[in-house]
Chain A
Amino acid sequence: MEKIKSLADLKKMQETLRAKIDLREKSNNPDSRIQVKVAMATCGIASGAKEVMEVFIDEFTKRNIDAVVTQTGCMGYCYAEPTVEITKPGNEPITFGYVDVKKAIRIIDKYVLNNELVDGIIPVNYETIENK
């Protein structure tokens, strides 16, 4: 192990190390961050949800966007897989269908960064127990 020679070194080291526990830090307080849920049931995975999830993680890290990416089970829109649900703090969740790698990047460019909608949004057509 290399010796840390100054406070500046320690701070630099912390910057690099922080990435390792970033996932834990973020999930400690999910409500204040952008949450991305990728549907990863059999149907989702078969249509490429794994690659889509990786794109989201990679892009967020690359662009330094504060977001949590998690996987969920089947959302029921098997015809529109891969589907991704995005919740921005203070907004209603929006579900995007037919998300491939290209579209994932478009969603980040348009919706995540600029609040512009992208085609392929699946309208909410269900009620949950919570809002009954």
Chain B
Amino acid sequence: MAKIKYHMLVCGGTGCQASKSEEILKNFQDLINTKGLENEVQVIKTGCFGFCEKGPIVKMMPDNTFYTQVKPEDCAEILEEHIIKGRRVHRLLYQDPETGEYKSDSKHMGFYKKQIRIALRNCGFINPENIDEYIARDGYQALGKVLTELTPEGTIEILKKSGLRGRGGGGFPTGLKWEITRAVKADQKYVVCNADEGDPGAFMDRSVLEGDPHTVLEAMAINGYCTGADKGVIYIRAEYPLAVERLKIAMKQARESGLLGKDILGTGFNFDIEIRYGAGAFVCGEETALIHSMEGLRGEPTVKPPFPSESGFLGKPTNVNNVETYANIPAIILKGADWYASIGTEKSKGTKVFALAGKINNVGLIEVPMGITLREIIFEIGGGIKNDRKFKAVQTGGPSGGMLTEKDLDTPIDYDNLIAAGSMMGSGGMIVMDEDDCMVAMAKFYLEFTVEESCGKCSPCRIGNKRLFEMLEKVTQGHAVMEDLDKLRNLSHVIKDTSLCGLGQTSPNPVLSSMANFYHEYLEHVGDKKCRAGSCKSLMQYIIIPENCIGCTLCARNCPVDAISGERKQVHLIDQEKCIKCGACMEKCKFNAIFIK
């Protein structure tokens, strides 16, 4: 019998599936069958590789060739050239944007060079729908070790020593959280996995669940053993259908193998998990709101204390951790607290997954050690700003975070430094902005999101954010006066100080941080009625320069709202009342006769 000589890893994450990776998988399988190579080549559907910018990704093993932007019609060529003739398909290799060099091995790409993959260790490597591959990669060994060799206290001690902090945003020490839940006496306790990832642009939890669901199940069982819970609940948004499907497959396989259920690994420990769906409300990422939603109530937060560790799901002690936090735990148990604590900074240990989005060349998912600088992330891993524009700011921490600018580029990133710089870690979304982005408009964008997502329970958040949004709208439309800026700042502080939960307490952050860093842009909008980025349309005017206009009528014919008038061979004129500032005229004009004022 012939031996398997090739493994072809095809990305099956949501991003690559959207670019037809399912079809690619099917094509490969069909071609392999027609050519009778079933016993030599194995096609494996994996989780996300992270390099979504260049998806769909196909990785060839054992020679580590990394094909990017593969189309279903490329499959025949890859099979013919790579597998049969042993030659790489050059045009599908990654090309270094700076040197123009083709790179076949992902390890030599700027995007992967600085990454350390712990939470994402199996993503893009194993088939998430096959428990065997997880077991082959030390899967469930951490659970076995904890159940047979360690006490709950001993395990919690390892976590405390490792320095792992909550990856959902708060950064609360995980070991300490478990210890508190363990100390509470009750007949029933619960372990919850918070998979309600809501930050715009963040998708690390989805990728972990899609690429390596078993690691979350294993860590939840460990959590159950340590805190004294025999039931786990995963709260996941229904908008993540692929993650839900893979979780269900994983749970079924784990049950069939006896790794979930009664008497796990013959130790007498019982633990099982169920899934609860969220409807995709941002506020449900907050522990108390999440628990209410799980109970079937409205997803509204309540005042803490009591903390969920005392009275949580159905009034019982509940330990809530985020997906990425869980994904780190099996690795920490197996490799030891000292290993984990050797990575990172003094107060923030280990790695953090970030989702790069916005005006950056390499959009994707990365896992980097704490203490890395923004400059390394944006310019080395992220490949710099799109279209060679100038870097302006990066928003970390989603709508609850703040903007970091040029001056923060060399600050080592960890929980405390980000807070000191006026932002926060959050769940790890990073939205990069360039000189074409207006900071007032960005603040407005985030506020629009919080206004939409506010649950309405407390008035500072429900009414205050709406008023903030209206004031920002006034600024971007050029109707604001100087006093409005003071009002904006004061109201922001009031909302921060008086809101009930984390959503309201952080929602004015984008406003405050953009005011702190880009106050001159606010002043320009109010004083000069000008938007330097050219993105606030109400403050722009398209003007025809009479000297350059030859009256070709091209602009008038292309104007969608008929705002341009003028006879043939006569200078044309734009009616500012009618103009919707779409820019079609300027794009069409061949004589540079139109400019933006």
Contacts and interface: CB of A to CB of B under 8 A. Distances in A.
B157 interface: no
Given A4-B259, A57-B3, A57-B5, A30 B136 contact: no
A14 B62 contact: no
A65 interface: no
Contact of A14 (B7, B126, B141): B141
Contacts of B5: 23, 53, 57, 69, 71
Contacts of B253: 1
Interface in B1-59: 2-7, 9
A54 B5 CA distance: 9
A42 to B, nearest CB: 8
Interface residues of A, number: 36
16 contacts: A3-B258, A4-B265, A10-B140, A14-B141, A17-B133, A17-B135, A17-B136, A20-B133, A21-B7, A21-B133, A24-B61, A27-B62, A61-B3, A71-B5, A72-B86, A73-B85
Closest 4 CB pairs of A and B: A3-B258, A27-B62, A7-B144, A17-B136
Contact of A54 (B2, B62, B141, B147): B2
B148 interface: yes
B265 A70 contact: no
A132 interface: no
B256 interface: yes
A10 B4 contact: no
A69 B69 CA distance: 27
A110 B253 CA distance: 46
Contacts, number: 92
Contact of A23 (B61, B139, B145, B258): B61
B235 to A, nearest CB: 27
A73 B147 contact: no
A27 B61 contact: yes
B266 interface: yes
A20 B265 contact: no
Given A24-B7, A57-B5, 10 more contacts: A1-B253, A4-B140, A4-B259, A5-B265, A14-B141, A17-B132, A23-B7, A24-B9, A27-B61, A70-B62
B221 to A, nearest CB: 13
Contact of B145 (A1, A7, A39): A7
Interface string A54-83: 100110010000001111110000000000
A125 interface: no
Q: Is the interface on chain B under 10, 10 to 19, 20 to 34, or 35 or more residues?
A: 35 or more
Q: Is chain A's interface secondary structure helix, strand, loop, or mixed overall?
A: helix
B258 A14 contact: no
A11 B141 CA distance: 8
A4 B257 contact: yes
A73 B257 contact: no
B85 A27 contact: no
B64 A27 contact: yes
A68 B135 contact: no
B163 to A, nearest CB: 27
A71 B135 CA distance: 29
Contact of B85 (A4, A28, A41, A57): A41
B266 A6 contact: yes
Contacts of A9: 265
A53 B62 CA distance: 14
